[in-house]
Amino acid sequence: MSEPLRPLRLPLSPPADFPVDPVDPLDRIAVSRRIEGLLRATGALQQGHFLLKSGRHGDHYLEKWSLLQHPSAAAEIAHVIAAQSLEVVHGMGSDIDLVVGPTTGGVLLAYEIGRLLGVRGLFAEEVRGTDGTPRREFRRGFHIPPRSRVLLVDDILTTGGSLQALLPPLYAAGAHPVAAAVVASRTPGLTAIEAEGREPIPLVAGITLDLPTFDATACPRCAAGEPIGAPGSSGR
């Protein structure tokens, strides 16, 4: 006999002054506070002295997997950005036929948001051409119908490069990207994903965080003599 399903043993507890329960997904101020509370509760929003992948230094770091390892929190945020994306797309007189994301965090989000919207969720993997140039490709028998209206999704956005890399295979298939959505944006001024020769694709962010970065020569934490760590996939 299979083991019965069990409730979450340790409910997430956001810090004081943050909403403790889900909020209206279209109330963007409340949503931003709720998501920040979940980022802090899961340890995804970290404070310290970090060497970022760009080579710059920062006093905050977003570790997406600290959030995504909690299915309840990830599903709640997926519901939020699904609702907000649908509102934006319907406001343009369009709809969503397909959700796609890049590996790896975008895989989880694409499938959960696809489930919520009642459409398929696909992912694109990074491959290298014969000249060694990386690109994104839909493999594993995924089929993208021509003229399908596509929502792009990802976890953390800085420059938008991961989302832009989804566009060439989508346009090659004749698809029509209608919007992009992310859990968190680190770039307050970025409101759309640009595609050369195409209309900008509106961007939905569950939360936008202004997290400054510094050149090593101008880093205040370096000047204070604080030790630095390199978080992320290096495991350090």
Q: Give the CATH number of the domain where residue 127 resides.
A: 3.40.50.2020
pLDDT in tens, the chain (236 residues): 466 777 666 778 999 999 999 999 999 999 999 999 999 999 999 999 999 888 899 999 999 999 999 999 999 999 999 999 999 999 999 999 999 999 999 999 999 999 999 999 999 999 998 888 899 999 999 999 999 999 999 999 988 999 999 999 999 999 999 999 999 999 999 999 998 889 999 999 999 999 999 999 999 999 999 999 988 754 43
Residue 165 in domain: yes
Q: CA 22, 104, 66, 209 torsion: positive or negative?
A: negative
Q: CA 194, 197, 200, 201 torsion: positive or negative?
A: negative
Tokens 């595609």 found at: 195
What are the residues whose beta carbons fall under 8 Å from the beta carbon of 176, sequence distance 6 or more?
147, 148, 149, 150
Give 3-state DSSP helix, strand, coil % of the chain, rounded to 5: 30, 25, 45
Domain range for 169: 81-210
Q: Are 30 and 19 in contact (CB under 8 A)?
A: yes
Residue 56 in domain: no
Residue 15 in domain: no
Q: Are 83 and 26 in contact (CB under 8 A)?
A: yes
Instruction: Tell me how far apart the alpha carbons of residues 109 and 26 are, in angstroms, rounded to a whole number.
Output: 19
State pTM to two decimals.
0.90
Helix (H, G, I), strand (E, B) or coil at 76: helix
Residue 177 in domain: yes
